[in-house]
Chain A
Amino acid sequence: SQQGEEDPQALSIQEGENATMNCSYKTSINNLQWYRQNSGRGLVHLILIRSNEREKHSGRLRVTLDTSKKSSSLLITASRAADTASYFCATSSRGFQKLVFGTGTRLLVSP
Chain B
Amino acid sequence: EAQVTQNPRYLITVTGKKLTVTCSQNMNHEYMSWYRQDPGLGLRQIYYSMNVEVTDKGDVPEGYKVSRKEKRNFPLILESPSPNQTSLYFCASSLRAVSTGARVLQETQYFGPGTRLLVL
Contacts and interface: CB of A to CB of B under 8 A. Distances in A.
A92 B43 contact: no
B104 interface: yes
A48 B94 CA distance: 13
Interface stretch (B11-19, B65-73, B77-85, B105-113): B105-113
B113 A97 contact: no
A101 B33 contact: no
Contacts of A59: none
Interface bracket on A: 20 to 34
A102 B106 CA distance: 16
Contacts of B110: 45
Contacts of B50: 97
A98 interface: yes
Contacts of B114: 40-42
B48 interface: yes
B5 to A, nearest CB: 10
Contact of A42 (B42, B103, B112): B112
A99 B33 contact: yes
Contacts of B48: 97-98
Interface string A74-111: 00000000000000101010111111111110000000
17 contacts: A30-B105, A33-B108, A41-B113, A43-B92, A43-B109, A45-B109, A45-B110, A48-B107, A94-B103, A94-B104, A97-B97, A98-B48, A98-B58, A99-B106, A101-B35, A101-B42, A103-B41
